[in-house]
Amino acid sequence: MIIKTNINIKRVLGIILSLLILISELNVFSFRTEAASIEYNYAKLLQESLYFYDANMCGTEVSKKSAFSWRGNCHTGDTKVKIKGKTVDVSGGFHDAGDHLKAGLPQGYTATMLGIEYMEFKEAFKDTKSTSHLKKITTHFAEYFERCTVLKSDGSVDFFVYQVSDGDEDHKKWEAPEKQNDVRKVYYTSKNNPATDEVSEAAAALAVQYINFKDSKALDYSKKLFAYAKGFKTKKVTKEGLYDSSTGGYLYDSQSWGDDYALAAALLYKATKDDSYKKEFDKIKESNQGGYNIYSWLSWDNVSALADYYGAGNADALKACADNMKQSEDGYSCLLAWGSARYNCNTQFLGLLYDKSAKKSTYKSWATKQMKYLMGNNKQKKCFIVGYNKKSAKYPHHRAASNSNDAGNQVKNHYILLGALVGGPRDSSGSYTDSQSDYQCNEVALDYNAGLVGAAAALYLVHKKSSSASASLMTSSDIKKVSLRFNYGLGLANTSIKSAKNNKKKTITVKWTKKSSAEGYQLQYSTNKKFKSKKTVQINGNSTTSTKLTKLKKKKTYYIRIRTYKTVDGKKQYSGWSAKKKVKIKK
């Protein structure tokens, strides 16, 4: 039977196609609305990224130095280690990751990176009241390296302790570090184990500590360690103490020593202008000794690109390394499945340091997009920085913060590991699991945050004058659920727009919430939702909580936002912007 119908097939297909397009557009709009709700605040990000190091502090002064109230003195047995008939104090330093061993290479690398980041982007630390925080962290590193450097009677180095505990001893326990006060295993240098990589990286960290803070003791020990490394006829990487039976593999077994040695030489030359250090750098560079390779990925394992930049003034080495690490122009750049966010931030840092040196903007847009992804602008709607926003990862693989006795036991009263960068997605499509027991996606580590700090500092300066980027300090509301003994500087609390109405001809009446801590308010309005061609209204005094915007254009839509301000040392400091309100002029 043939059924006749009056339906126009082409018309039906057209309607279906139109609906599909509309649905697609609605989905895109939904995503963009979600992205717009994220605060891209690089000032706050920089501040918070440093707090992770408070969580990983080790030693007999943690109760005094750490900002976290749930951290206390730990591993007091490290003060009385017996080595070659001597009692050696190797207390202090930092736990490596979510565990409690103290690994030399990642500590040296992290301290060097943090020092370089402060040296290069000092203004960012100053603006965000983070200088004292950074200095406390790098000084804690420096004091540890100095204690680990055991001297002979003539003042030269006898040996250097590069690792305390190991995988076998440490990983079998899931508990708070405060419960662990026994004497632990230690690993140190010897005639047959020069550990050139470990010794050199500590020397580099101490050199940059002097450059930044004129710490003469740090410079003295940096020179001693470099002379010790130089004195070995055969230089090599270390393997002793790095094998972990629980994983059947090595922890931080570096593949090169030339990069660490060259970076130490370059930074010592920068600190002293002593040509002998420049000659040592040149020897490595000219012969590519010890695995020196500027294309090698920047990480705890290789710092060749940084060495080339500081030793030879070669900014192109930074770009060459960053280009080699970058995996995607538009999507998430995933270099490795394990700890991908770490490599992503390292690439951002390298690229932005190149931009600063070359006075270009080659990496500005790319780095900004990548950091926005990490802050929550992704299809998973997940932020990979703990405590940054409501989308943040909640269950990092971290014994102390877990407040539990089992990696598989996620308790409700766990502590917020503020500022920690978790491992992140396993692939470029964003596969990720927020699980305490997932050490691939949710591991945290000293070297992970090292890149985050640098990228955040650089991005803050890149966007400092941009009206589209928030640059306010973290506020009390940002840390109200974080257990802190003290903080390193809070900004003004944001205000919010209570109402914005067009109840009079070509006029909008705006009302907002009073903030007693403010000196006044700054309001902006524009017909552009990104606030291009904006107009600004300054309201002096915190008691005024409404104003009228007049002479507006009928049938136009206006976007309005407001922030608080106060004057400090003759300069205005602002809070973050409120959520914007949209009003169409109908009258």
Pick one of 1.10.10.10, 2.40.10.340, 2.60.40.10, 3.40.50.1100 as the CATH number of 492-584. Answer: 2.60.40.10
Residues 218 and 209: their CA atoms lie apart, in Å, by: 7
Stretch 46-68: mean pLDDT, rounded? 98
Answer yes or no: pTM beyond 0.95.
no
pLDDT band at 252 (very low <50, low <70, confident <90, very high): very high
Q: Quick one: what percent of the chain has pLDDT higher than 70? A: 93
Fold match between 42-462 and 492-584? no
pLDDT tens, residue by residue, 357-389? 999 999 999 999 999 999 999 999 999 999 999
Q: What is the pLDDT of residue 16?
A: 44
Q: What is the pLDDT of residue 472?
A: 86
Q: What is the pLDDT of residue 471?
A: 77
Lowest-confidence pick of 205-214, 465-474, 549-558: 465-474
pLDDT tens, residue by residue, 510-560? 999 999 889 999 999 999 998 989 999 999 999 999 999 999 999 999 999
Lowest-confidence pick of 1-5, 61-65, 256-260: 1-5
Residues 245 and 253: their CA atoms lie apart, in Å, by: 14
Q: Quick one: what percent of the chain has pLDDT higher than 90? A: 87
Contact assessment for residue 49 and residue 459, using Cβ atoms and an 8 Å cutoff: no
Q: Is the pLDDT of residue 35 over 70?
A: no
pLDDT tens, residue by residue, 164-178? 999 999 999 999 999
Residue carrying the six token digits 């919430």: 513
3-state secondary structure labels for all residues of 360-413: CCCCHHHHHHHHHHHCCCCCCCCECECCCCCCECCCCECHHHHCCCCCCCCCCC
Q: What is the pLDDT of residue 258?
A: 98
Residues 200 and 357: their CA atoms lie apart, in Å, by: 25
> Three-class SS of residue 287?
helix
Q: Is the pLDDT of residue 1 over 50?
A: no
Q: Is the pLDDT of residue 21 over 50?
A: no
Q: Is the pLDDT of residue 581 over 80?
A: yes
Q: Is the pLDDT of residue 84 over 90?
A: yes
Q: Which two tokens stand for residue 136?
A: 């406390």
Q: List the Cα angle 485/129/361 in 5-degree steps.
A: 135
* CATH code given to domain 42-462: 1.50.10.10
Q: What is the pLDDT of residue 33?
A: 44
> Three-class SS of residue 542?
coil
Of 92, 90, 50, residue with least CA distance to 73: 92
pLDDT band at 467 (very low <50, low <70, confident <90, very high): low
| Type of residue found at 382 | K
Higher pLDDT, 31 or 477: 477
Neighbouring C-alpha atoms within 13 Å toward the C-beta of 526:
15
Q: What is the pLDDT of residue 468?
A: 64
Mean pLDDT score of the chain: 93
Stretch 472-492: mean pLDDT, rounded? 92
Q: What is the pLDDT of residue 568?
A: 75
Residues 358 and 354: their CA atoms lie apart, in Å, by: 6
Stretch 31-50: mean pLDDT, rounded? 81
Residues 375 and 373: their CA atoms lie apart, in Å, by: 5
Higher pLDDT, 504 or 569: 504
Stretch 238-262: mean pLDDT, rounded? 94
The DSSP element (H or E) to which 103 belongs, if any, is strand 102-103
pLDDT tens, residue by residue, 393-419? 999 999 999 999 999 999 999 999 999
Domains of the chain by residue range: 42-462, 492-584
Q: Give me the sign of the Cα torsion angle 298, 300, 302, 308.
A: positive
